[in-house]
A = this chain, B = another copy of it.
Amino acid sequence: MLDAVSDAAWLESMLRVEAALAKVEGRLGLIPPEAAASIASSLLAAELDPEQIGREAVSAGNPVIPMVRMLSRVVPGEAVGYVHWGATSQDILDTGMMLVARRALTLITRDTDAVAAAAADLAVRHRSSVMVGRTLLQQAAPTTFGLKAAGWLTAVREARSRIREIQQGGLALQFGGAAGTLAALGERGLDVSRELARELGLVEPVLPWHTARGRVLALATALGILTAAVGKIALDVLLMAQNEVAEVSEGAGGGSSTLPQKQNPVAAVEVLACVRGVNAQVALLMAAALQEHERAAGGWQAEWPAISELFRFSAGAMGRTAGMLEGLQVNRERMTANLLQGGGQVMSEGVMMRLAARIGRPRAHHLVGEAAAAAVNSGREFGAELKADPEISAQLSPAEIDAALEPGSYLGSAEALVDRAVTAYQMEMAEGK
Q: In chain B, what residue has the closest Cβ to A358?
A: B81
Contact A207-B154, Cβ < 8 Å, known A217-B224, A262-B138, A413-B182: yes
Contact A362-B257, Cβ < 8 Å, known A60-B266, A232-B291, A301-B270: no
Instruction: Kindly state the separation between the CA atoms of A134 and B295 in the bound complex, as whole angstroms.
Output: 7
A59-104 residues at the B interface, CB under 8 angstroms: 59-62, 64-65, 68, 72, 78, 80-89, 92
The verdict on A383 contacting chain B, using a C-beta distance below 8 Å, is: no
- Chain B residues near A352 (CB, 8 Å)? 258, 260
The smallest C-beta distance from A379 to any residue of chain B, in angstroms, reads 12
- Chain B residues near A257 (CB, 8 Å)? 62, 64-65, 68, 84, 87-89, 92
Residues of A in contact, count (CB < 8 Å): 169
Interface stretch (choices A42-50, A107-115, A235-243, A393-401): A235-243
**Contact yes or no, A181 B414, CB < 8 A:** yes
The verdict on A4 contacting chain B, using a C-beta distance below 8 Å, is: no
Instruction: Kindly state the separation between the CA atoms of A197 and B218 in the bound complex, as whole angstroms.
Output: 29
- Chain B residues near A330 (CB, 8 Å)? none
Q: CB < 8 Å: which of B136, B238, B305 contacts A277?
A: B305
**Contact yes or no, B276 A298, CB < 8 A:** yes
Q: CB < 8 Å: which of B243, B298, B373 contacts A342?
A: B243
Q: CB < 8 Å: which of B183, B258, B359, B417 contacts A414?
A: B183
- Chain B residues near A277 (CB, 8 Å)? 284, 302, 305-306
**Contact yes or no, B242 A154, CB < 8 A:** no
Contact A138-B265, Cβ < 8 Å, known A178-B349, A232-B291: yes
Instruction: Kindly state the separation between the CA atoms of A236 and B182 in the bound complex, as whole angstroms.
Output: 21
Instruction: Kindly state the separation between the CA atoms of A261 and B375 in the bound complex, as whole angstroms.
Output: 10
Instruction: Kindly state the separation between the CA atoms of A107 and B150 in the bound complex, as whole angstroms.
Output: 36
The verdict on A403 contacting chain B, using a C-beta distance below 8 Å, is: no
- Chain B residues near A158 (CB, 8 Å)? 212, 214
- Chain B residues near A365 (CB, 8 Å)? 258, 260
Query: Interface readout for A335-351 with B: 1 if CB under 8 Å, 0 if not?
Result: 00010011001101111
